[in-house]
Amino acid sequence: MLDLKHDTEQPLYTIGRVAEMTGVAPSTLRAWEDAYGLLHPARSEGGTRIYTAGDVDLVHQIKELQQKEHLGLQVIASLLGVNGAAETAPSKRGQPSTINPEELARLFALAKDAGVAIENARLLVKERHRSAVFLAITALQHRLTTAMSRDAVFPFVAEVIQKELGFPLVNIFSLVPGEDKLRLLAAAGELAPKETVEVILRLSQRGPNERAARSGKPQLQPDLRRARHQEMGRLFPRSRSELVVPILLRDRVLGTLDVHRTVPGAFEEADLLALQILAEQVALVLEANATFSNLQKVNRQLLAALEVSTALSAELHPEKLLEMIVSHAGELSGAETVAVPVRQCCAGEETVRYVAAWGRHADVLRGLEVPLAQAGFCGWVISHQEPLLTDRAQRDPRANKDLLLRLKVKTALVVPMVSPSGVEGGLTSLNKRDGGSFTLQDQQLLHLLANHAAVAMRNSRFLGEEKGFPYREGGNKECAIRPVS
């Protein structure tokens, strides 16, 4: 033990006093001594640690190497020539442990060189990352100048991001307009399915894509095995970590950009920054694609209207004209089934008869006749002369429940067919093929075609029953079209 009576040439300090002087906690000082062998304080007869001024200087030096040069304690211990607490006790414990000034200068020089090398490596990685993002942005902006269908453009976008940034999996999801769900538009990378699959994520679910779409904020899942999304886990079983950023356009969520890696905790802040930049480009592609699709749809509508108008001017047989109208309405509105019900008066009874039909349930509806009071949506539109648009068809009190259940109708759009003589009938669209809902744009389209259908119905009356449209098989002369005036 240190004989305090004879060691009076330099001041001595307790561990508490050293902690006050250096700002290093007593527990840390003890760890430096016991675990790393960096300090070797003397002991009093009672076992109390006693530090010299040299020990205090050494504490300051170790602290500086940690904080300014960012060196770990193992590295500092190696540089000091110690190799753990069990082997580092000096033969003369009374002598203070310190670093030779020349060795300290050399240590600082090495640490600075190492720091510069590390920083250069970080800058190189950032520069490469920045270059990859720039190349991806350039490719995406180039694609903005070309007209591509959604089926082609989004696989291309996913492949560009995957190729330039090296993610094993890149997914692009689009928020379905008017519905609380995301649809997978494209997937690229070694983890992507080999065949195209239909993936729908409902926003009520708790996966990172759904959270990003709801909140408009990035979502990170460091370890997917701890929070496995059932649908995504089935499709991408080798994924271990996931990063999702929302695709935003003027604070409006259009979808999500979703990337995966095969190891947990693999994403860094640079990945988040890169994806946010690329998500902005994807938003522009989404908007451009939607605009182009709308223009294509309007163009198809105009061509369809022109074709129908040309047929009318050529005095095409009304039956063929109506079949052409329902075909165009089905193709352009995305409906499963389109039909033309008209109001008739047969033997004093008012009925609704489906004189033309197209699509999934065409055979069921074509020729079907029901009393006007039981005609459901069609009867209501004919009677009220107003359009009807509903996405909860079977709960609508105006519906013919039996017919809707039979046809499994979920959404419906019916517009009146109005001619100068009055309402001739109602152009009816049932169920979207993609599972969505009918829109006001669909309603405008059906109005356009319904006007042509109304003209066709009026023309049929002028053609006479011998040449006119056979509303009943055999041409029952007691039956007549009765428009609502």
Give residue 150's pLDDT.
56
Write phi, then psi, for 259 (nearest 5 degrees).
-125, 150
Give residue 289's pLDDT.
66
**SS3 readout for 57-99:** HHHHHHHHHHHCCCCCHHHHHHHCCCCCHHHCCCCCCCCCCCC
- What is the rounded CA–CA span in Å between residue 77 and residue 34? 12
Domain ranges, ordered by start, for the chain = 12-99, 124-292, 315-481
Give residue 237's pLDDT.
83
One-letter identity of residue 222 = P
Q: Say which CATH class 124-292 falls into.
A: alpha beta
- What is the rounded CA–CA span in Å between residue 343 and residue 2? 115
Token digits of residue 126: 């950032």
Contacts of 305 (CB under 8 A, 6+ apart): 448, 449, 452
What is the percent of the chain with per-residue pLDDT over 70, rounded to a whole number? 69
One-letter identity of residue 346 = C
- 254 in Cβ contact with 175 (< 8 Å): yes
Mean pLDDT by 10 residues, the chain (485 residues): 48 90 90 86 87 89 80 75 50 46 64 61 57 62 54 79 85 86 91 83 89 93 75 79 90 90 85 83 73 68 68 62 82 88 78 90 90 87 89 88 88 86 84 86 82 71 49 40 42
Owner of token pair 């066709």: 456
- Cα 287 to its chain centre, rounded Å, is 14
Give residue 184's pLDDT.
92
Q: What angle do CA 145, 148, 154 make, to 5 degrees?
A: 100
Long-range pairs of 196-205 with CB within 8 A, sequence gap ≥ 24: 197/235, 199/231, 199/235, 201/173, 201/231, 204/180, 205/229
Task: Say if pTM beats, i.e. exceeds, 0.75.
Answer: no
Contacts of 422 (CB under 8 A, 6+ apart): 483, 484, 485
Give residue 116's pLDDT.
60
CATH architecture of 12-99: Orthogonal Bundle (1.10)
Give residue 155's pLDDT.
86
- 133 in Cβ contact with 278 (< 8 Å): yes
Distances (CA, A) of 183 to 203, 231, 441, 483: 11, 13, 21, 44
- 441 in Cβ contact with 389 (< 8 Å): no
- What is the rounded CA–CA span in Å between residue 429 and residue 431? 7
Is the fold of 124-292 the same as that of 315-481?
yes
- 185 in Cβ contact with 173 (< 8 Å): yes
- 303 in Cβ contact with 326 (< 8 Å): no
Three-state secondary-structure class, residue 174: strand
Q: Please write the tens of the pLDDT for every residue from 133-188.
A: 666 666 655 655 554 555 677 888 888 888 877 889 999 999 887 788 999 989 99
- What is the rounded CA–CA span in Å between residue 186 and residue 196? 8
Give residue 295's pLDDT.
66
Say if domain 315-481 classifies as CATH 3.40.50.1980. Answer: no
Give residue 82's pLDDT.
65
